């Protein structure tokens, strides 16, 4: 279970990559100073009874440089020790160095990066030499004992190669985390790469089959999270969680937003860390009220849905991006979420109600037959 309070720190929206479907890069973006880190510390110091995860995101957060992280991680660790801070970073790894890797290893910072599949496919979607440069940084990180996991973005193009992509992750022995390509409030052609809800739903069912049938060959974080949602009846990760008032993003200049996806949009500024605003006052801002309006909308629009307690209407950003910022519905991937939640629930119920012989452990192989029940047990045990 991830910590319930999450602060995303965005040192810059700048990025040396030119991924075709990316909406979070801005060449003109400023870079965060260490003065802003001091202000973040002062802002959060009054918190009590919280465990906080700090995720460095971007743009490309490694542009901030080694000295930034050496100082920022030390200050947060020491001055906010009462919050038991944990760290993470999302980076394309191009700028990874031995010095940076040593700093991240000291503070046990897990790394998220992005590989969309085999080299040709990744470079087609993310730009020439992306794959090679990312793997060069991965080797440095791995040599220093850092945990690196890759997000695989499925687009309306790459989803047609899902078998090849899954086999690639199996061959590499990597845990897979997937993102569907999403529309943006920033892009001029926001749907050029977008994965449709119907395609996404079918992809999730395919990946559920892979996770169930090949438990020793591939681990798919999203499938684990979805199964955990159904089993615990509560959302525990981004998209399937009530994030209002517990997740905030700090832009390069210290402005506070509901999430990193809103960074750079003035109408979504909730406050500034230099003012050390109370959490309550952030939620009373115009942007905060717009987020709470989504929560209220879900309570009504989804009240008859069997999955409301652990889906919560999906992501509020996804809900407003297709309409230019106005709230007219829930996350458009609702179709996909219902598809996979129904699939997991249906299989789990069928397995639990099956005759004992159908769930019996083979005395010869000493191995449980592939099932959602077996996958959930594995998730719980770990």
Is residue 326 packed enough to be buried (19+ CB in 10 Å), middle (13-18) or exposed (0-12)? exposed
Listed range (21-25, 77-81, 339-343) with the worst mean pLDDT: 21-25
**Block residue for tokens 């879900």:** 298
The pLDDT tens digits of the residues spanning 197-238 come to 999 999 999 999 999 999 889 999 999 999 999 999 998 788
The pLDDT tens digits of the residues spanning 44-59 come to 999 988 899 999 999 9
| Phi-psi group of 110: left, alpha or beta (phi > 0 → left; psi -120 to 50 → alpha; rest → beta) | beta
Structure tokens at 157: 């193009």
Q: How many CA atoms lie within 13 A of 229 on its CB side?
A: 30
- pTM summary value: 0.91
Q: What is the pLDDT of residue 24?
A: 64
Listed range (54-68, 112-126, 312-326, 359-373) with the worst mean pLDDT: 359-373
**What is the average pLDDT value for the chain, to the nearest integer?**
91
How many other CB atoms are there within 10 angstroms of residue 39's CB atom?
Answer: 18
Structure tokens at 93: 């790894």
Q: Name which of 260, 228, 256 is nearest 241 in CA terms.
A: 228
Q: Is the peptide bond before 289 cis (omega within 30 degrees of 0)?
A: no
Q: Taking the mean position of all CA atoms in its chain, how far away is CA 313?
A: 17
Bridge partners of 89, per DSSP, are 56, 111
Average pLDDT (323-329) is: 87
The pLDDT tens digits of the residues spanning 243-300 come to 888 999 999 999 999 999 999 899 999 999 999 999 999 999 999 999 999 999 999 9
The pLDDT tens digits of the residues spanning 72-120 come to 999 999 999 999 999 999 999 999 999 999 999 999 999 999 999 999 9
Listed range (147-156, 240-249, 308-317, 342-351) with the worst mean pLDDT: 240-249
Q: Name which of 182, 110, 210, 181 is nearest 150 in CA terms.
A: 110
Dihedral angle over CA of 69, 114, 334, 218, nearest 10: -120
- Using the CB atoms, write b or e for 206-224: b if 16+ within 10 Å: ebbebbbeeeeebbbebbb
Q: What is the pLDDT of residue 302?
A: 96
Helix axes 34-44, 66-79, angle to 10 degrees: 20
- What percent of the chain is helix, strand and coil (3-state, nearest 5)? 50, 10, 40
pLDDT beyond 50 at 364: no
Q: Name which of 166, 194, 182, 300 is nearest 238 in CA terms.
A: 182
């Amino acid at each position: 279970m991830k910590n319930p309070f999450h602060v995303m720190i965005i040192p810059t929206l700048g990025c040396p990559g030119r991924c075709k479907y990316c909406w979070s890069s801005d060449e003109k973006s400023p870079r965060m100073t260490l003065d802003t880190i001091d202000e973040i510390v002062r802002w959060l110091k009054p918190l009590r009874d919280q465990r906080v995860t700090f995720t460095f995101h971007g743009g490309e957060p490694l542009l901030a440089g080694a000295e930034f992280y050496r100082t920022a991680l030390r200050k947060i660790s020491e001055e906010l020790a009462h919050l038991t801070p944990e760290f993470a970073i999302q980076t394309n790894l191009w700028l990874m160095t031995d010095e940076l890797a040593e700093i991240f290893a000291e503070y046990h910072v897990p790394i998220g990066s992005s590989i969309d599949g085999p080299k040709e496919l990744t470079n087609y979607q993310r730009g020439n030499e992306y794959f090679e440069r990312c793997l060069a940084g991965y080797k440095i990180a791995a040599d220093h004992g850092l945990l690196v996991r890759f997000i695989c973005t499925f687009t309306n193009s790459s989803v047609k190669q899902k078998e090849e992509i899954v086999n690639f992750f199996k061959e590499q022995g990597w845990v897979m985390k997937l993102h569907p390509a999403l529309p943006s409030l920033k892009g001029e052609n926001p749907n050029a790469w977008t994965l449709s809800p119907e395609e996404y739903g079918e992809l999730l069912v395919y990946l559920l089959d892979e996770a169930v049938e090949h438990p020793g060959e591939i681990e798919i974080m999203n499938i684990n999270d979805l199964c955990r949602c159904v089993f615990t009846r509560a959302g525990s990760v981004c998209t399937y969680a009530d994030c209002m008032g517990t997740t905030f993003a700090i832009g390069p200049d210290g402005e506070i937003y509901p999430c990193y996806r809103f960074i750079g949009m003035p109408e979504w500024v909730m406050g500034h860390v230099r003012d050390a605003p109370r959490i309550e006052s952030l939620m009373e801002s115009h942007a905060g009220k717009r987020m709470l309006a989504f929560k209220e909308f879900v309570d009504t629009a989804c009240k008859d849905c069997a999955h409301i307690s652990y889906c919560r209407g999906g992501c509020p950003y996804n809900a407003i991006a297709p309409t230019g910022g106005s709230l007219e519905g829930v996350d458009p991937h609702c179709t996909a979420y219902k598809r996979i939640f129904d699939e997991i629930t249906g299989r789990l119920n069928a397995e639990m109600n099956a005759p004992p012989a159908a769930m019996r452990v083979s005395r010869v192989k000493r191995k449980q037959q592939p099932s959602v029940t077996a996958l959930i047990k594995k998730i719980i045990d770990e």
